[in-house]
Amino acid sequence: MASSTFFFSFFSYFLLVLAAAASPENYLHLRFFQHERILGVANATVVLSVNADNSGLATGFGNIVAYDNALRETTDLRAPIIGHSQGLGIGSDRSGATGFTAFSMVFTGGRYNGSSLDIQGIFISQPLLETVSERAIVGGTGRFRGARGYLLSQEIVLTPETLTGQLDAFIKF
């Protein structure tokens, strides 16, 4: 009788551990805001490296864009910079509506200083302010070593000189 009680208790504990491991509550959710200075303005943080498609869209098919955008904890452009979103985008859709991105969120301040997250996947660029893009978190360094998960991004503010995106990272270790 005691052994069956022990077995039942152990089995129940094992199931609880498995359920906790599979639950979405184990994701660390972080929100950042990416501040981009648009192509063609002074001190742009985005450069069109190869302009294979002269449509005027940075996301034109075959175009390659390199960027180094500021990361902040708020949408306020005066808020301290806590890092940079550094990477590249490639116009990989002939319609110009999407592109492939590979970038790192490199933290240079705040509680994640010295760490980075690596992201890759498809960015939906048309329509710009109405769409949420989902990309994979494929690794990281420092406090994010071995990270995996996903990043949801949405452009939320567009001015003639800047584009602000909200980045929601759901990280599992």
Please return the burial class of 25, using the count of CB atoms within 10 Å of its CB with bins 0-12, 13-18 and 19+. Answer: exposed
Q: Which residues are within 8 A (CB) of 101 and not within 5 positions of it... i.e. 6 or more apart?
A: 87, 88, 89, 90, 119, 120, 121, 122, 123, 135
pLDDT at position 151 is 98
| pLDDT tens by residue, 96-117 | 888 999 999 999 999 999 999 9
Q: What is the pTM of this model?
A: 0.80
Q: What would the pLDDT profile of 65-90 be if each residue is shown by its tens digit?
A: 999 999 999 999 999 999 999 999 99
Burial class (CB in 10 A: 0-12, 13-18, 19+), 16: exposed
CATH numeric code, 27-172: 2.40.480.10
What does the domain layout of the chain look like in residue ranges? 27-172
Question: pLDDT tens digits, residue range 4-60?
Answer: 544 444 444 443 344 444 555 588 999 999 999 987 787 788 888 888 877 666 778
What percent of the chain stands above pLDDT 70? 84
